[in-house]
Structure 1
């Protein structure tokens, strides 16, 4: 979705009937159950706080029900923005018991971090899907958004967020933002991170208590060893005062999906600037710079896909993950046809697999039930669906949309699914699955 394309927002009172109506009502119930005063948790048990890119996708669905509630979703998140512009990946709910999630507020110690907000948060970030969500939310009801002053308040915060990513997180001078933790990728446990993670010494399991295994099977979650590496990276970053430099980030990767969202987000910011009577050209220029850096640095023409790059070694990480396909969301991407061709091939099997697998179906270490190591997620397939529409692949887009809705009808609002059988995995009642179902149901 960009400033020039995307699902047309339906009137909040639009009534769907038949099977679509049943699915619509179920999605509404799931989102209502996860609503907490001014924001939506991803899932009540496993994820009891507000997550950053989850709220972006949730707002895109909520705009069809209540554009004002969608605005509040984003405003709540950006109310916890740090002074340097970063948007934390978790905003902690003080009403939730401190031991309900690890790492919790006591681990991150944001209260003593320079520039942190007055509410407890984590110190790392997540993919920048927010400008796309904010513009879609505005378009759902421009009159209500103008009456509330939504864009005048959210736009400068989005600008500061993108500035943080393009300055503080450009760790190599390549023009690309880098992630400093697998959690920042949104695709936490992807095999793409195995090589750079192998250099990180894990914290022994006895030094921390995992809470995720209280809500999900161990076979579907990261291993204890990988979780120990995640804790090590987060602790080192915290102890540095959340400073951004290669010497601080033991793991530093330039990720295709994150940078594609940044480029597409700049297009959305350009549309916001024009709406506010400001010059959109700086945002369009920024989108072009990031796109050019993506093409020159991360694209492999022989493979027909984008690969992440290890910022410490400068080497591409040749792991076929769905993130390498998602630059398809960038307007004017010159290699869109090649990405579609790769998606249709045996590694992703676009015409058959649904949702798109998070990782290469032909790889020996593909695992269709373990977190980001093979299962499909509705949000990444939703992004690819919008990319298909953006680049004129309407037949493929319509087919993917129909199959996604059938998967959800059968499995429910699961966190992730087996891309070939459709079996549900992870937690149930997952908010972005429900929210993006609302959007898919209203696609035109």
Structure 2
């Protein structure tokens, strides 16, 4: 069964490869997505070191002059209307003069440095021969500099997302309050391509989608300038900041490999971790919450994003966070993958995009965090549970955490990549129950 699962996962990544990068899935997602490529590279490293490196090199080939790594790099071989919002929506301001590529103006969570370091570690000989880290390290630095310098909109040491799509958890209930202040565009002004690939009950509502389009259009029309006053939606997201802290730790390791000073990266990681705990962690609830940069208030919906800081090395609240994760809200150790939203909430929806379903990529982040902090037995149970869920539902985009039923796109690339990584990484050694 395990061999069959691995063969199926490899076939998916092969079928979704597009001459230098991997699409998330055939059909709805015909382009390159930013954090998808990071997860995909983590799986590809076990199959082909060169292909894993090319996955990230392709993405960073579309890096903007200001350092941002775009959410989407549009494939010029695909019709412009295959996805909305497509290249025509983003306009000339999102066209790269150096390559002619058109991208989204938004970004996604910064998993890339961790992925690049793990790709290097999987085959350091090939990585050094190709100059992989030597070429990618300065681009990763510029990417992180953009986030630290341009996205600390509240000036308190934490990075903001300025659109729900930037969080990776697009339709999370955590965004409902700040999103409610955004006037939606009329549904008649755009065509939703997503509803041609999944039922309306699995996707965001027309009202929310209209708000997403409004935010994206306003950002485009303002020239992609990052200011608090110009961002109707500005949220300090625990997942984004946690991955940035982990990324700085990975950059420190790269600096050591390349013979440069790792200290600035370690200092940034420590400072960001301190700010993350001081501002977004609620000791009474034992979890992290997103924070509205306009109102300075926590957005108190319990989501999987509040558990993802488990990935941060040296996090001082690991045991408290694990107690919450194993409790009634998420049932870590019992359900796999981890639900995206509080199981006990009245508005929990097990099949609607990020409002309850379990996703394999966030499950991987928690699995990685458990291993980082020595909770290997629990990580092993989570990993085996995710593999069992794959055997039941197939390589779906997400699953119902209670029934295991698959939803969203099929033959999903990061689901296949996570499966390969779980099958290839050595089993848990049982250091901590």
TM bucket (normalised to shorter chain) is: over 0.9
- Counterpart of 2:47 in structure 1 is 65
Q: CA RMSD in A?
A: 1.1
Deviation at 1:111, TM superposition (A): 4.7
Secondary structure (helix, strand or coil) at the match of 2:300 reads: coil
Equivalences for residues 301-320 of structure 1 within 5 A:
301-320=283-302
Distance 1:375 1:163 in 2: 33
Equivalent of residue 315 in structure 2, options 298, 311, 333:
333
Q: Determine if the alignment matches structure 1 residue 283 to structure 2 residue 265.
A: yes
1:20–1:291 Cα change, 3 Å: same
For residues 110 and 139 of structure 1, the distance between their equivalents in structure 2, rounded to whole angstroms, comes to: 39
* 113-122 vs 186-195, which moves further: 113-122
1:42 paired to 2:24: yes
Q: CA 1:116/1:202 → structure 2, altered by over 3 Å: closer, same or farther?
A: farther
When the two structures are aligned, how many residues end up with a matched partner?
426
Q: Which runs of 5+ in 1 are unaligned?
A: 1-18
Give the whole-Å Cα distance in 1 for the aligned partners of 2:395 and 2:138. 34
Once residues 59 and 250 of structure 2 are traced to their aligned partners in structure 1, the CA distance between those partners, rounded to angstroms, is 18
Q: Is the 8 A contact 2:38 2:112 kept in 1?
A: yes
Measure the CA separation in 1 of the matches of 2:367 and 2:264. 28
Residue 395 (structure 1) aligned with residue 377 (structure 2) = yes
Q: Give the CA deviation at 1:153.
A: 0.6
Structure 2 residue corresponding to 1:33, chosen from 15, 22, 25: 15
Q: Does 1:241 align with 2:223?
A: yes
Query: Contact 1:81/1:116 (CA < 8 Å) preserved in 2?
Result: no
1:44–1:152 CA distance, 2 compared to 1 (3 A): same
* 1:172 corresponds to 2:154: yes
User: Normalized against structure 2, the TM-score is what?
Assistant: 0.97
The TM-score with structure 1 as length reference comes to 0.95
Alignment of 1:8-19 (within 5 A): 19=1
Are 1:384 and 2:348 matched, yes or no?
Answer: no
Displacement of 1:351 in angstroms is 2.2
Query: For 2:132, which of 135, 147, 150 is the aligned residue?
Result: 150
Q: Is the 8 A contact 1:84 1:115 kept in 2?
A: no
Deviations, residues 142-171 of structure 1 (Å, cap 9, x unaligned)? 111111110111000000000000110000
Distance between the aligned counterparts of 1:150 and 1:116, measured in 2? 21
Hey, what does 2:350 align to over in structure 1?
368
Q: Distance in 1 between matches of 2:72 and 2:94?
A: 16
Q: Secondary structure at the match of 1:297?
A: helix
Offset, 1:443? 2.0
Cα offsets for 1:309-352 (capped at 9, x unmatched): 00011000001000000100000100000111000100001122
Question: Where does residue 16 of structure 1 map in the other structure?
Answer: none
CA deviation string 1:397-425 (max 9, x = no partner)? 11111111011011110000011111100
